[in-house]
Amino acid sequence: MSEALSKGEVTSTELTQAHLDRIAGVDSSVKAFLHVDAEGALAQAARVDADRRAGKKLHPLAGIPLALKDVLTQEGIPTTAGSKILQGWKPQYDSTVVSKIKDAGIVILGKTNMDEFAMGSSTENSAYGPTFNPWDLSRTPGGSSGGSAAAVSAYEAPLAIGSDTGGSIRQPAALTGIVGVRPTYGAVSRYGLIAYSSSLDQAGPFGRTVLDTALLHDVMAGHDPKDATSINAAFPDVVASARKCDVKGMKIGVIKQLQGEGYQSGVQARFDESLQVLASLGAQIVEVDCPSFEYALAAYYLIAPSECSSNLARFDAMRYGLRVGDSDGASAESVMNATRNAGFGHEVKRRIILGTYALSSGYYDAYYGSAQKIRTLIIQDYAKAFAQADVLVSPTAPTTAFKIGEKSDDPIAMYLGDVATIPVNLAGICGMSLPAGLADEDNLPVGFQIMAPAMQDARLYQVGSALEAALVSQWGGHLISKAPALGGSK
């Protein structure tokens, strides 16, 4: 698309309009978008077209449309984080990520659906209803960035942005057959990213190919003085690495704990085949042991709810969003209690209550304190593993896309879906999911996860591009081209 734009074969306005038409055609069945900003998108496209005609030097992604997860603020555009408590809120400022993508000339089509405050793995926890997987509309696209992943998978947008606290980019990328990357913690500014769990949250890119994803990653990343946790150091070039397609001599570590029992047979089969492909390309495959990973899920479901119980205290019915019970004689507390009851969904309440419990005096050391120590052990496991291998790999999710409603009454089963993605977040490192093929038993996409040490995001793209090139030549095209038609032209 970038090439066609720069050659003048197509204008950004035409490209943007084509995607708006696609959204109008299929989003009533996919429901990826919460808000479509046709006017803003076409205005940005017209600006880019004018700049191009004027001969200005443009970013390679200038004029390309993008879908934005509704967790990032965009000035003047409704931003809800999938919650009723923020219904109708229009932020007064752009998040740093949005400023950067606007500056690059990227066209924001609209805001995508998500589990409320990014708490969930299926997008079923959205206050505005679920998103449907374009591969099979009776199934979830994963979550929490399910709207962004579904938009890319359904050809409603070539690029999207999500956020990943426990796997919320990689798992939906896996379940919808696209590429998704969670960057190193601190690589992308969190300014304007509505906080769920501040020490785990990180925004990142989705694309249909590894190179597209790298180009967007490059735009999003960089030090930001507005985010005190943003890393002020140069990272290796992700775009150059995505063009390398070479794993000769690289050591690839398979994590013993993240495969086998509990993983669907078709998921394991595609994972094993991808490993063979990497070996045939000249990589050396080694097995690594990460014994503390067994406790990662438990640690995550203490740390994230604890941080969320504190972060979501900002929804106090005073500064923004919903206010309920506003009658004469009401107290500040009664209004806040009633508003938070009406504004938050079940999963959000469940996590706030769990976090409140884990942080309460008498239980703090046993729960939150222990979880923080497990986090140290996981970091140590990774350090040992990365001493033996350049990157580590696993299936992204234990299963392919599950049916809508299948796990919604069983929080533990839902939480187990994040078992392979969560260790990355606890350690603050980076991870990618890319398509590994379709599972034989259900013909649904399987994701292959690559993990690299902090700040070595470029290695994800190097290994990912090599695997992708080999698999695409084997399949005779990208996996996404095998997705069933939703009606309308792609």
Partner 1 sequence: MSSLSRDDVAKLAALARIEMSEEELVSLASQFGMILDAVARVQEVNLDGVAPTSHPQPIHNVFREDVVHPSLTPAQALSSAPAQDPQALLQHKHSPVHLPKKSNAFAFHRSLVKLSDYTERSSNVRGPVKG
* Assigned token pair, 437: 């093929």
Q: How many whole angstroms separate alpha carbon 127 and alpha carbon 87?
A: 10
Given 354, 389, 471, 486, the residue binding partner 1 (CB under 8 A): 354
Nearer to partner 1, 211 or 427 (CB): 427
Which residues within the stretch 269-298 sit at the binding site for partner 1 (CB under 8 A)? Answer: 292, 294-295, 297-298
Tell me whether residue 102 is one of the annotated catalytic residues: no
Interface with partner 1 by CB under 8 A: which range of 115-123, 248-256, 258-266, 355-363?
355-363
* Cβ neighbourhood burial of 485 (10 Å; 0-12, 13-18, 19+): exposed
Contact 428, 376 (CB under 8 A): no
Given 282, 369, 484, 488, the residue binding partner 1 (CB under 8 A): 369
Q: Which of 83, 95, 153, 168 is catalytic?
A: 168
Nearer to partner 1, 17 or 356 (CB): 356
Q: Which long-range contacts (CB under 8 A, 24 or more apart) does 225-230 make?
A: 226/96, 226/189, 226/191, 227/96, 227/189, 227/190, 227/191, 229/185, 229/186, 229/190, 229/198, 230/186, 230/188, 230/189, 230/190
Interface with partner 1 by CB under 8 A: which range of 10-18, 60-68, 351-359, 467-475?
351-359
Spell out the SS3 assignment of 175-211: HHCCEEEECCCCCECCCCECCCCCCCCCEEEEECCHH
Nearer to partner 1, 286 or 413 (CB): 413
Handedness of CA 475, 29, 35, 183 (dihedral sign): negative
Nearer to partner 1, 331 or 473 (CB): 331
Q: Which of 31, 69, 100, 407 is catalytic?
A: 69
Q: Output the smallest distance, CB 231 to partner 1, in A.
A: 7
Nearer to partner 1, 25 or 325 (CB): 325
Q: Output the smallest distance, CB 197 to partner 1, in A.
A: 11
Tell me whether residue 331 is one of the annotated catalytic residues: no
* Assigned token pair, 427: 């350690």
Tell me whether residue 144 is one of the annotated catalytic residues: yes
Which amino acid makes up residue 10? Answer: V
Q: Output the smallest distance, CB 74 to partner 1, in A.
A: 14
Q: How many whole angstroms separate alpha carbon 343 and alpha carbon 163?
A: 22
Which residues within the stretch 401-460 sit at the binding site for partner 1 (CB under 8 A)? Answer: 411-412, 415, 426-429, 454
Mapping DSSP to helix (H, G, I), strand (E, B) and coil, where does residue 35 land? strand
Given 8, 129, 225, 282, the residue binding partner 1 (CB under 8 A): 225
Which residues within the stretch 227-256 sit at the binding site for partner 1 (CB under 8 A)? Answer: 228-229, 231
What x-and-dash track marks residues 147-186 binding partner 1 by CB under 8 A? --------------------------------------xx
* Assigned token pair, 232: 């002020």
Q: Output the smallest distance, CB 182 to partner 1, in A.
A: 12
Please give the full DSSP string across 431-490, using - where no structure is assigned: EEEEEEEE-TTT--EEEEEEEE-TT-HHHHHHHHHHHHHHHHHHHTS-GGGGSPP-SS--
Q: Which H helix or E strand runs over 300?
A: helix 296-311
Q: Output the smallest distance, CB 295 to partner 1, in A.
A: 6
Q: Output the smallest distance, CB 201 to partner 1, in A.
A: 11
Q: Output the smallest distance, CB 478 to partner 1, in A.
A: 33
What x-and-dash track marks residues 319-338 binding partner 1 by CB under 8 A? xxxxx--x---xxxxxxxxx
Contact 308, 197 (CB under 8 A): yes
Please give the full DSSP string across 56-115, using - where no structure is assigned: ----TTTT-EEEEETTB--TTS---TT-GGGTT---SS--HHHHHHHHTT-EEEEEE--S
Residue 145 found at the interface with partner 1 (CB under 8 A): no
Which residues within the stretch 78-137 sit at the binding site for partner 1 (CB under 8 A)? Answer: 89-93
Given 309, 399, 400, 456, the residue binding partner 1 (CB under 8 A): 309
Q: Output the smallest distance, CB 73 to partner 1, in A.
A: 11
Q: Output the smallest distance, CB 255 to partner 1, in A.
A: 18
Residue 299 found at the interface with partner 1 (CB under 8 A): yes
Which residues within the stretch 377-396 sit at the binding site for partner 1 (CB under 8 A)? Answer: 377, 379
Contact 330, 323 (CB under 8 A): no
Q: Which of 12, 99, 121, 144 is catalytic?
A: 144
Nearer to partner 1, 284 or 334 (CB): 334
Q: How many whole angstroms separate alpha carbon 32 and alpha carbon 27?
A: 6
Given 155, 191, 196, 367, the residue binding partner 1 (CB under 8 A): 367
Residues 6+ apart with CB under 8 A from 404: 122, 124, 130, 132, 138, 139, 140
Active-site annotation, residues: 69, 144, 168
